Structure 1
Amino acid sequence: MPLDSRRINGPPESFPVSNFGGQITQKRLVVTDGRRQDGRKATDVRPIFLRAGVVSNAKGSAYIETKNTKVICAVYGPRQVVRREDFKLTGTLKCEFKLTTFSCKQRQQHQQSVVDKDVSLTLQQALEPAVCLDKYPRAQIDIFISVLQNDGGVLGASITCASVALADAGIDMFDVVVGCTLRQAGEVAILDPTYEEEYDSKDEGDNNGSIVVGLLPSMNQISVLIQSGDLDNEVSQQGIRSCIEGCMRTYPVVRECLVKSVKTMNVGKEKGS
């Protein structure tokens, strides 16, 4: 059969790419000297970069970066909803969470997956207690969260990012919501886990799972609590307390970001006038 000069012909024999990859081994959460793979202690969180007003055409927006976990959020509205099946005097939140196609080790779909839809509902439940929905009757606030890179702790970072975006949009809120994730593997509990620690780590002992807490820091109330895996009652309570401490550590970063955003907005108004 003659060769086709218009195409690049491959070799006569081919082999799967997996044959050239090394064997995947699960790592322990904490190394022998008491520190994790990235040098942090079990109770340390990753450095946080947080900025509001990053999407120009949105009513409010925010971008959060915790080392290699990167999330961006945009808020639109409130917009009037004329036709609705169920009439409500209060407003509604609509959250859309999406892992971008290049955010994970395995390529994601362009459309929302079942997991994305479940996380969207969780984010909605976490943010609703913080928003004064009674001030927006028959209105809807749209929140779009996109994960640019997933290196663990995505849900906690998304809660914090969406809350800052709502505040940047000028939505009346009782308080901001700060999220934190904890990974439990046997007797080892770590805050703000990386992707390997959250999904690829070796299970140790009976207690294996994760906890995500959304906290309203000023009101000292939990807006959402998600627990997966098998955890004892005492271990679960201790994990929740650790997540609350992690949220309180993140709160000063959120407060400073919003103060800086307001100052920048005021300076822009003064220059415009």
Structure 2
Amino acid sequence: MADRRRINGPVGATIPPIYDSPSPSPTSTEKPENAIRKIFLKTGVTPSASGSAYLELANSNAAGPINTSLKLTCTVHGPRALPRSAPFSPHIILTTHVKYAPFATKQRRGYLRDSSERDLGVHLETALRGAIIADRWPKSGVDIIVTIIEGDQDRNAPENRRDDGWDTMNVLSGCITVASAAIADAGIDCVDTVAGGVAALVAKDPKSPPSIVLDPAVNDYHKIYAACCIAYLPTRDEVTNVWFKGQLPGADIMMYNNMVERCLVACRNAHSVVVTSLKKTAQLEQEVS
């Protein structure tokens, strides 16, 4: 017997409508070398949660159609007391949950978490644990839930195009940034607001030499050799998590150090967006009160 109370999506792949892009203006240029893509960040989007935030990252090419976009939402529940049956903990118990929406990527996701989503949750927990002052809430727990509404993938790319999962680096960076804003919105004490940043070694075309870029959009480059995602506390100048993927030509340690330095630049840019969003939220609350 069919379930008439549930509207299921189409079984096969669907193609979103493509609209004519506006003609590029003469002043529109590519993304600067030391800049990241534009970020929209807003806190307090879920009233039922202790803290929440929404992040959207658009494509770097403003003149053409936006084929890739990253949309994340985060909710924070807690701190709240643990059950009496739980063992005593002098620190807060941090639980992170990262899940793709079924429609977030080109290949439809299941309702149960897979290995990539569990890896994202582990990296997110490591990044946030270094920022939260855990001894303020003994025998307490906080749940951080990040939902990926849209992954950083090209929807118009051909089906036979190889996907090595480079978009997960940008997803993790966005998860760290949006979770940091949601934690601050929940009023949880932290040593600093942590921010995520990505740098990658890419080749723009088959004949160009490899170069290091910030916040790469996967579909904008011919090949990606390696990528690095870092969670960074700018005020304390501390790194809470590093995730490196790929292989550098000749295992050059200097190139690895350069990628880390460029990641820190991306983290500082994302951190300024978080601080600006939190200041706007605080000003609105003062005006309302």
Query: What TM-score results when the alignment is normalised by the length of structure 2?
Result: 0.74
Q: Which residue of 2 is the match for residue 202 of structure 1?
A: 223
CA distance in 1, matches of 2:198, 2:186: 26
Q: Which residue of 2 is the match for residue 189 of structure 1?
A: 212
Matched, 1:119 2:139: no
CA distance in 2, matches of 1:82, 1:109: 31
Tell me by how many angstroms 1:88 deviates.
2.0
**8 Å contact kept, 2:35–2:269:** no
Give 2:257's aligned amino acid. Answer: Q
Deviations 1:31-65 (A, max 9, x none): xxxxxxx9324543111111110111110001111
CA distance in 2, matches of 1:258, 1:42: 27
Q: RMSD of the TM alignment (CA)?
A: 2.1
The one of 61, 64, 87 equivalent to 2:55 is 64
CA distance in 1, matches of 2:175, 2:240: 14
The size of the alignment, in residue pairs, is: 229
Q: Which residue of 2 is the match for residue 130 of structure 1?
A: 131
Give 2:43's aligned amino acid. Answer: A
Go from structure 1 to structure 2 and tell me whether the alpha carbon gap of 1:187 and 1:216 turns closer, same or farther (over 3 Å shift). same
Give the 4+ runs in structure 1 shifted more than 4 A. 83-86
Correspondences of 1:43-58 after superposition (within 5 Å): 43-58=34-49
Correspondences of 1:24-39 after superposition (within 5 Å): 39=30
Give 1:175's aligned amino acid. Answer: D
**8 Å contact kept, 2:174–2:196:** yes
| Structure label with greater radius of gyration | 1
Q: Which residue of 1 is the match for residue 247 of structure 2?
A: 230
**Gap regions ≥5 residues in structure 1:** 1-16, 19-37
Please identify, of 40-49 and 87-96, the stretch whose mean Cα deviation from structure 2 is larger. Answer: 40-49
The one of 180, 186, 190 equivalent to 1:169 is 186
Deviations 1:177-204 (A, max 9, x none): 010111213622121112425xx8425x
Q: Which residue of 2 is the match for residue 141 of structure 1?
A: 142
Correspondences of 1:91-110 after superposition (within 5 Å): 91-110=92-111
CA distance in 2, matches of 1:149, 1:169: 24
Matched, 1:215 2:215: no
**8 Å contact kept, 1:61–1:168:** yes
CA distance in 1, matches of 2:222, 2:133: 40
Matched, 1:260 2:283: no
Give 1:79's aligned amino acid. Answer: R
